[in-house]
Structure 1
């Protein structure tokens, strides 16, 4: 196979390539030197320059290259660059050159020379090569350690396929891993789905300023994660402003718009002075609006304009104000259903739904209870200065309960955090005993029983789901069992999640438990499926 021809594309060095008389050969000149290497033939040199004032230098360099490397054909290209230090000017000229140049990668290899030219030109050459407008490798030339006539110095090729540079690739991997660990507060979570989600959030947080939607039940950690995203972006110098956190469920009536968008003095009764509002306070920062589904339709419309245009009207104002903020929204509602019901604007939902993530509750992450337990104990110790640990029996007792069907964790991580605080506070000489654990389990069961009694206000009506006639044919035993199964289904995010709860004990005896399939077959006995029992229709 015939070897590819080597083609160099580089700028004329108006200073480095200059030289007069015979003494110029005692000086290292990068463009000429690149053609002097005995081990490498440069077949063609595309010499770029700006301005006719350099025509004489171009002719001199062309003649000198011809004298040391007759095999090299040099073509000079005067580019329409008026200011070699103007980024837009230089990049535009190079872009046009690259678009019109007859690249032939099948027969030629291209070396993009970045030793000569202004710093702006060198940066643009790098960017154009990285983006593959120049389909080649960068070449960096260096002078000899001791200047001598005919010594061309050295050259090095830089391949922009960073995956081939082990140290760079390893450093990038370490940086990404550090970012993921930061978002998780260093908690060694074991849930594969959650870990995969956090890895994607890390990449999105670093690269994007688009809105993000965090979905999940109360206490799943939406606010905590939003703050960690802010701190990660700030540590990378991607954000300068404040972190503003608001639960939209606390907004009521006319005060909602004022709180978010601000108001001017006298705009309504009680407006004794101007108020900037939270959106302006979040300028150059991050605004986290938790429970965004609680916003009224008017506020939703104003928020959409603020997101898209970065400006809005404060209440009572005739003049718009500006705020460049990044939005993270949180919700425990199904906003898709809220849109269908007319309670949430479809255009706002589309705008904030570009990056959406469903945070699983604690019951859906049983393998993460233990590492979070360790984290919360360490956090308690840091805050109080007291080191607290479980004794062996107490720890085993608590973990058995925490992973059992009896542990509802309806408040998710808030429940776990509260439990750890109580356990640590009641510990004896820094040791959590089995007695303390037993009392805490009783307390949690009582808490969840009360919450369940409130949540059970909506009874499962089998007649509404399967028809009155079919429901009447069920034995009381089957009817009661089916009602409870349906209730668990409606409290779960997926069929697998519901199956894990319903078959928590028997699944341990199976090598490959398929909880979703078992639940599917159970429902099929009554001519039901997942969608039907969860929708209630």
Structure 2
């Protein structure tokens, strides 16, 4: 379907009134034979409503295919940069652009020079998804609507709006930080850089950092920022690569044709296809196999890939955000990660620091978690002064591990808020919580089952519920002591298999391991 052509511009209080010559830009722009205008949006002040209505009538008479919409926007001083930009920014924010169905053009000819500068800045920042158009009168003794051309203005010499941009940038930065007023200079500088990159580049982003540092939450906010800046239109697809072990990884990511998978009832589109036009977040990308890494690289660079069993490539163009908890350079050196994929991801790498490396940010994060707990519990909870002093001293102590980083801090605050009598966290409660959390960390290091899980799962072992730890450790131990997957299955299901008609123990074991993102090879390793 052909898109509608929409022109947005100011009413020319001198030019459109015909005071200088018969050529009126807001009228003639709709009369170009090679530039049909389906809708003309005219912005004007209240005192010029009569002229605006006259232009509307003239355009609709001379160009019946053009719909004219009038927008009354009151600007006291059209030469004031701050006022003009603010009014135009509000207009753009409230407009409701639909660039799937309409092509937008900003008419630069009418309005003050300040308005022209603001038009350029708004389109350059993608607040207005439009092209800039300049029109001019016909040459002397010529007839017709005059000239029309797309222009690119050099506005590098204008700095009057820097404070406004600084304010907008600060708003975006605060958003990326989840509304938390962080104080760590290195982290804040990283967020500043990240906002610039996200707003101006479609290249992949790599977020690295230990578990619990907030990679998933940050990826979601980066997606929202891209959405606000109109760099993407589609959805965010979050993939935990550590769960894509074994034979189903390819199908999950790239989809399959029904005949390629035994027992499949229908074709599967795959997660890359779902991310078309949006953002694909590959969390724990270091857990992907080398074959999947190769296909991901091809999809990033070409926007195309082959679903399993297909002879034809599928197109999916997405912005990639990758998360990793391990040193990818080290994995490349060990042959566990593709060097070409790492080179593609390493253009924009952002290392999220551990909580213990940001002691000055612990206080604002405690306040943030308290506010979140209030929303969750539906009741306000506060610290007693002595209790808060003790907890903050413990939290900022260099010897405090915070092995789960912000995840541990969040869980700690949630526990105290839930147990707080009359909405007050007391000194004794803080002391009990400190004993609890340090005991958990100690037991995690001493528990042989936890040590086994950590050796196989790495930092993801902290995410396994206590309920599942003993059983999973027993399964892993059986795999390590058995010669094959089938032998391990016969050992683990020796009793229950007697009552089952199907005795495919290997398949039962494989499905159990896949729940935790494991396979036979990783258990043996």
Q: TM-score range by the shorter chain?
A: 0.5 to 0.7
2:69 corresponds to: none
Please tell me whether residue 28 in structure 1 is matched to residue 8 in structure 2: no
| Structure 2 CA distance for aligned equivalents of residues 179 and 120 of structure 1 | 42
Please tell me whether residue 116 in structure 1 is matched to residue 136 in structure 2: yes
1:403 corresponds to: 396
1:494 corresponds to: none
- 1:309-362 residue CA offsets vs partner (Å, 9 max, x unmatched): 101011111111111111100101111111111111111111111100110010
2:254 corresponds to: 261
Candidates 171, 174, 177, aligned match of 1:178: 171
Report the alpha carbon displacement of residue 274 of structure 1 after superposing the two structures with TM: 1.0
1:344 corresponds to: 337
Candidates 215, 228, 233, aligned match of 1:222: 215
Contact map agreement 1:30 1:115 (CA 8 A) in 2:
no
Please tell me whether residue 382 in structure 1 is matched to residue 378 in structure 2: no
| Structure 2 CA distance for aligned equivalents of residues 246 and 114 of structure 1 | 46
Report the alpha carbon displacement of residue 121 of structure 1 after superposing the two structures with TM: 6.6
Candidates 402, 412, 415, aligned match of 1:422: 415
Partner secondary structure for residue 266 of structure 1: helix
| Structure 2 CA distance for aligned equivalents of residues 246 and 294 of structure 1 | 11
| Structure 2 CA distance for aligned equivalents of residues 160 and 363 of structure 1 | 42
| Structure 1 CA distance for aligned equivalents of residues 243 and 290 of structure 2 | 16
- 1:451-502 residue CA offsets vs partner (Å, 9 max, x unmatched): 33369979xxxxxxxxxxxxxxxxxxxxxxxxxxxxxxxxxxxxxxxxxxxx
> Residue 432 and residue 121 in structure 1: after superposition, are their counterparts in 2 closer, same or farther (change >3 A)?
farther
> Residue 392 and residue 295 in structure 1: after superposition, are their counterparts in 2 closer, same or farther (change >3 A)?
same
Partner secondary structure for residue 237 of structure 2: strand
2:440 corresponds to: 447
2:231 corresponds to: 238
Partner secondary structure for residue 323 of structure 2: strand
User: Pairwise mapping of residues 216-365 of structure 1 onto structure 2 (< 5 A)?
Assistant: 216-365=209-358
- 1:346-400 residue CA offsets vs partner (Å, 9 max, x unmatched): 1111111110011001011011111011011111112222111111011001001
Partner secondary structure for residue 162 of structure 1: coil
User: Pairwise mapping of residues 185-224 of structure 1 onto structure 2 (< 5 A)?
Assistant: 185-224=178-217
- 1:183-217 residue CA offsets vs partner (Å, 9 max, x unmatched): 00110000000000001000111111110000000
| Structure 2 CA distance for aligned equivalents of residues 429 and 441 of structure 1 | 21
Scaled by the length of structure 2, what TM-score is found? 0.58
Scaled by the length of structure 1, what TM-score is found? 0.57
Please tell me whether residue 161 in structure 1 is matched to residue 157 in structure 2: yes
Report the alpha carbon displacement of residue 405 of structure 1 after superposing the two structures with TM: 3.1
Structure of higher CA gyration radius: 1
| Structure 2 CA distance for aligned equivalents of residues 249 and 178 of structure 1 | 34
1:516 corresponds to: none
| Structure 2 CA distance for aligned equivalents of residues 345 and 423 of structure 1 | 45
| Structure 2 CA distance for aligned equivalents of residues 378 and 162 of structure 1 | 42
| Structure 1 CA distance for aligned equivalents of residues 134 and 223 of structure 2 | 37
Contact map agreement 1:293 1:344 (CA 8 A) in 2:
yes
Partner secondary structure for residue 410 of structure 1: coil
Contact map agreement 1:183 1:198 (CA 8 A) in 2:
yes
Contact map agreement 2:134 2:150 (CA 8 A) in 1:
no
Contact map agreement 1:313 1:320 (CA 8 A) in 2:
yes
| Structure 2 CA distance for aligned equivalents of residues 189 and 237 of structure 1 | 27
Report the alpha carbon displacement of residue 268 of structure 1 after superposing the two structures with TM: 1.8
Structure 1: gaps spanning 5 or more residues: 1-15, 18-25, 32-49, 51-85, 88-112, 131-158, 459-537
| Structure 1 CA distance for aligned equivalents of residues 435 and 146 of structure 2 | 69
> Residue 174 and residue 243 in structure 1: after superposition, are their counterparts in 2 closer, same or farther (change >3 A)?
same
Report the alpha carbon displacement of residue 27 of structure 1 after superposing the two structures with TM: 5.4
| Structure 2 CA distance for aligned equivalents of residues 345 and 434 of structure 1 | 52
Structure 2: gaps spanning 5 or more residues: 1-13, 24-31, 33-102, 105-132, 139-144, 453-525
> Residue 237 and residue 298 in structure 1: after superposition, are their counterparts in 2 closer, same or farther (change >3 A)?
same
What is the root-mean-square deviation of aligned Cα atoms in Å?
Answer: 3.1
- 1:106-130 residue CA offsets vs partner (Å, 9 max, x unmatched): xxxxxxx9672599977634x1x41
Partner secondary structure for residue 207 of structure 2: strand
| Structure 1 CA distance for aligned equivalents of residues 445 and 328 of structure 2 | 24
| Structure 1 CA distance for aligned equivalents of residues 348 and 286 of structure 2 | 17
| Structure 2 CA distance for aligned equivalents of residues 217 and 286 of structure 1 | 22
